Amino acid sequence: MQPIMYGQFFGRLTAAIRILFAIFLTCAAAQAAAGTGQDQPNLVFILGDNHNAQTMGCAGHPFIQTPGMDRLAKEGILFENAFNTTSLCSPSRASILTGAYAHRHGVKNNHTPWTGQMKTFLDHLSAGGYATAFIGKWHMPGEGLPDMPFLDLFVSYTFREGQGAYFNCPMIVNGREVPSRAPYITAEVTDYAIEFMQKVRAESRGGRSRPFCIYLSHRPGHPPYKAPAGVAGMYADADVAGVLPAHADPLWYGKTKGNVFQGVMMGSYEDKYRKYCETLTAMDRDIVRLLEEMDTMGLAENTVVIYMGDNGMQWGTHDCHGIREAYEDSLRLPLIVRAPGLVLDPGSKRRQMVLNIDMGPTLLEMAGLDIPASMDGQSLAPFLRDPQARGREAFLIEFWRYFPENTPSYIGIRTNQYKYIEFARGRSPWLFDLLNDPSELHNLMDTPQGERLLPELQVRLAKMIARSQ
């Protein structure tokens, strides 16, 4: 009986320590907020475009320089298992804003328009007393930009079908088109973010500041890759061996197979990759500038900063270039969260599976607001507080084909060990053991192991689909 009693004692002690730990973190956050004269933290969400999760200095990339992201990782948490639920720009962006799977918010591909049928987390924060700003790339179909009257500031662009331009991109500010004020687009949108922080601080009354939330959406690294002076050419001699797969021809490479639009590139594939990295470094320099401005304004200790990508990016893996396939390089996202007062082990990493649909719930919980039932995601706050907090065991993967792309529609499930994908047409299902085959080279379908695994994965997939309706 003695071992059982000791086990019960230490189990209860561990539970008590975790409760005290959570109380301490809550008090620390409240104390930080009190120091700025406001009850809720400021929130800054920064979004990159087509950013491969491994292409950061803090993720171990061999040559890219990302001191801003590295600083966030040093002062916060780097999530190593972050994913999107639909590997495509517009659906992922809508999922980030609504916290919902694409089949629920309705933006299923880059041609289906934003309807506004589900509220965004910015809408909820505005109703909760936050000053809110959406700044940068919108990139969802529809007639122009949507009507979002709850925003205090809406800065975006419709130039070149919403893709914008790296240089001299005209902006639409609260419905009025204005010329670009800064030559390079990341400097332009960062200027608006800094001005918004300054404006909110200047409007404080009685020593109390209104909390703000800024959604800062960048263009890098979307093609065509162009970087500003001081960054352009900095990786011209970088060695890409071991970064790009050996089978990628350095002079001409692309995903042909009848899908010219998605990824064929003429010229040096290696140079295209180097220029891609340069655009990410250019964006990072403005992340550095934004963080330094927060320091100067005394906001750092009460401002949560999140950096994430909208989807991953395949550079030659599986003979693919692009973002639409259900491979890990496309699904994985860079995700870093700096949350002063909530994280007691800054500079560490987390292995729990987290998703793009988790951003809304996370920001709402940090603001002390209720998470609406319309959101499929869950808050990351428990993982910030406790490295051992239990994460999700699986998530739903979905994709809808659209012209002229040749990737078929698919639906699937990813667990901590397995990935199972069913295609609408033209392909046999995929089943990968990610623990023993992380590069997804061996499809287990029609093998004895696959036959054993398949029934349970199919049942789990059906249940996930039913639960998310």
Ordered alpha helix ranges (H), 243-353: 260-263, 269-297, 328-331
In this structure, is residue 13 part of a structural domain? no
98 plus 220 within the same structural domain: yes
In the chain, count of helices (H) and strands (E)?
12, 19
288 plus 428 within the same structural domain: no
Confidence of residue 207 (pLDDT cuts 50, 70, 90): low
Single-letter residue type at 184: Y
Collapsed DSSP state (helix, strand, coil) of residue 244? strand
| Dihedral of the alpha carbons of 186, 187, 189, 191, in degrees to the nearest 10 | 160
What domain count does the chain have? 2
Query: Does residue 1 register a pLDDT over 70?
Result: no
Beta-bridge mates of residue 16: none
DSSP 54: T
Residue 277 CA to its chain's centroid (Å): 17
In this structure, is residue 422 part of a structural domain? yes
Confidence of residue 161 (pLDDT cuts 50, 70, 90): confident
Per-residue model confidence (pLDDT) at position 265: 57
Query: Does residue 30 register a pLDDT over 70?
Result: no
Confidence of residue 79 (pLDDT cuts 50, 70, 90): very high
234 plus 278 within the same structural domain: yes
In this structure, is residue 165 part of a structural domain? yes
What CATH number is attached to the domain comprising 184? 3.40.720.10
Q: What is the pLDDT of residues 346-390, one digit of tens each?
A: 999 999 999 999 999 999 999 999 999 999 999 999 999 999 999
Query: Does residue 90 register a pLDDT over 70?
Result: yes
Query: Does residue 211 register a pLDDT over 70?
Result: yes
Residue 159 CA to its chain's centroid (Å): 23
366 plus 447 within the same structural domain: no
Residue 468: domain span: 408-469
* 29 vs 86: which has the higher pLDDT: 86
Query: Does residue 74 register a pLDDT over 60?
Result: yes
90 plus 114 within the same structural domain: yes
160 plus 220 within the same structural domain: yes
Confidence of residue 27 (pLDDT cuts 50, 70, 90): very low
- Kindly list the strands in the beta sheet with 332-333, ordered across the sheet, starting from the edge strand earlier in the chain: 332-333, 82-83, 354-355
What CATH number is attached to the domain comprising 415? 3.30.1120.10
Per-residue model confidence (pLDDT) at position 9: 45
The DSSP H or E segment spanning 136 is strand 131-136
Collapsed DSSP state (helix, strand, coil) of residue 203? coil
In this structure, is residue 8 part of a structural domain? no
Single-letter residue type at 143: E
pTM over 0.85: yes
Q: Which of 153, 157, 107, 96 is nearest to 126 (CA)?
A: 153
Confidence of residue 36 (pLDDT cuts 50, 70, 90): very low
The rounded distance, in Å, linking the Cα atoms of 18 and 389 is 10
388 plus 412 within the same structural domain: no
247 plus 322 within the same structural domain: yes
- Structure-token pair, residue 335: 């995700």
CB 192: neighbour CB atoms within 10 A?
A: 19
Average pLDDT, whole number, for the chain? 90
Residue 321 CA to its chain's centroid (Å): 20
